[in-house]
Structure 1
């Protein structure tokens, strides 16, 4: 009989690539993970792993079983949800993946509200950018993601449900003494000769900022790239550059000036979940909390939105 715990270890290996990463995720030793995977091979009477020195990779049979294991584990989660649904109170674990600027402004308050109102629900919070979180959701590695609909392409995916959360402006972040702070709003064409701090290459904000600058008629002079908004804000605060950031990332603890763009630029923040065969009350509780803290302004209802 297949052991669900060992199947989950196999799925984690398919997702994260190394025994060490699986061990760290499960708070286990690497040797314990290897032993359990070897036991799974004996149980299935099939070679699931190819070993090369200290590294392992899945065989064709391993890839097949990992895919089936995701389906099996999802079915088990659904069965548990149905049983929990017989009770009055949501219970269970929800893995929530959030992009960086939404961690403190949206996710943490929502998680705190869930903990207060539904003590039997545990939320595991992960930081993942939009280009990472949607693949993780489709693989079944996470239950809920906060992302941006203009990046995911999920609107056309019948397996994914979208839940509107908020709209967030993209703003220009300047040193406090910068000449452009005299303006109430800033046209990016006035920034053609500036030095810029961007997010890392390939990220959502890097692609967006590059596109906006080019649409304004110039190629931005990017002098540094950081995958941490706090470091970017520190760089701007010291007068070394300017930046385009989501307003959620404009932490008031930093001595910077924030100006809206002319014309305004906004991004739609959306939660996404895999369309379940059976609703999971714990996920509904998390989505409700996210919508509560994300509603900076009313959004048009998405016809595919779930309650």
Structure 2
């Protein structure tokens, strides 16, 4: 059996449609269908059922897809051992992380690893939680930094989780705002303020909207940014206020933060696929992430 075709089958099990697999693999849908048909010939087993234009896995296809995950992980491990004869962690590890964790968690970990393991290559990918969990499951990432607080992204039981830190949600204000420097903030007092939001349907956009509505108002959103740094610049200029994880509040911006009167926090977690024991290269990346300094784990006050 060809490992590449097995990976396509695994992606079909995870993503659900040939079109989605084609987009992930950067192939045409017809090419994906042809390769899956070849895999059926190789295994001499019907792996797919076709109903109209849709394709779904047979019972045999489901079994093979789920066994294939362990097979592919084991092949990666063997390849790495052959390259380095097990002398030290080596090879490629793809690390996915959401935006605010990249410069505070991922980059420091990768920097330490580069000094210690010269034959280890860590490819850093910016992936928000709704992107990183599927990427991990289909094998496009080996380790991800995500949050366990995204309700529509169940993280188990096919994944192993390593808690890294807690990260509180804070209200970010211009430095000369009349309420700067006070104690915990009641969001209802900010109902008439202009708000900066993340992009629609992102984790922080959904969370901020929910918190504002719990405070019984609909926020007046004057701008949306996919980059937290642009949002912080907007707040710094006195044009808006926003809700952010404390991890995202870069101290280089002249803003102030207030904790919320009703505290809200998220749990930052590393995740890997469950199955065969993780190869040495993956283990050292996890160890580096667990070495998170307390100043990162606690979040920056931003004041």
Deviates more, 1:248-257 or 1:73-82: 73-82
The alignment yields a C-alpha RMSD, in angstroms, of 3.7
**Deviation of 1:107 (Å):** 0.4
Q: Equivalents in 1 of 2:75, 2:204: separation in Å?
A: 37
TM-score (ref. length: structure 1)? 0.75
**Deviation of 1:205 (Å):** 0.6
| Map 1:78-157 → 2, pairs under 5 A | 78-81=77-80, 87-151=86-150, 157=156
**Deviation of 1:262 (Å):** 1.7
1:212 aligns to what? 211
- Secondary structure of 1:133's partner? helix
**Deviation digits for residues 47-90 of structure 1 (CA, Å, limit 9, x no counterpart):** xxxxxxxxxx99999x9999887665333113335657962311
Runs of 4+ off more than 6 Å: 5-16, 18-21, 37-46, 57-61, 63-69, 153-156
1:293 aligns to what? 292
- Structure 1, unpaired ranges of 5+: 24-29, 47-56, 300-307
**Deviation of 1:231 (Å):** 1.2
Residues 130 and 152 in structure 1, CA contact (< 8 A), matched pair in contact too = no
Query: Structure 1 residues 154 and 163, CA, compared in 2 at 3 Å: closer, same or farther?
Result: farther
Query: Structure 1 residues 116 and 9, CA, compared in 2 at 3 Å: closer, same or farther?
Result: farther
Q: Equivalents in 2 of 1:18, 1:157: separation in Å?
A: 22
**Deviation digits for residues 156-189 of structure 1 (CA, Å, limit 9, x no counterpart):** 6221111011111111111121111141332212
1:199 aligns to what? 198
- Secondary structure of 2:165's partner? strand
2:172 aligns to what? 173
Q: Equivalents in 1 of 2:115, 2:152: separation in Å?
A: 34
Q: Tell me how many residue pairs correspond in the alignment.
A: 284
Q: Equivalents in 1 of 2:78, 2:133: separation in Å?
A: 24
Residues 97 and 146 in structure 1, CA contact (< 8 A), matched pair in contact too = yes
Q: Equivalents in 2 of 1:145, 1:43: separation in Å?
A: 30
- Secondary structure of 1:180's partner? coil
| Map 1:190-269 → 2, pairs under 5 A | 190-269=189-268
Residues 94 and 124 in structure 1, CA contact (< 8 A), matched pair in contact too = yes
- Secondary structure of 2:217's partner? coil
- Structure 2, unpaired ranges of 5+: 43-53, 299-303
Query: Structure 1 residues 274 and 40, CA, compared in 2 at 3 Å: closer, same or farther?
Result: closer
Residues 181 and 258 in structure 2, CA contact (< 8 A), matched pair in contact too = no
**Deviation of 1:217 (Å):** 2.1
| Map 1:18-29 → 2, pairs under 5 A | none
Q: Equivalents in 2 of 1:275, 1:71: separation in Å?
A: 9
Query: Structure 1 residues 185 and 82, CA, compared in 2 at 3 Å: closer, same or farther?
Result: same
TM-score (ref. length: structure 2)? 0.76
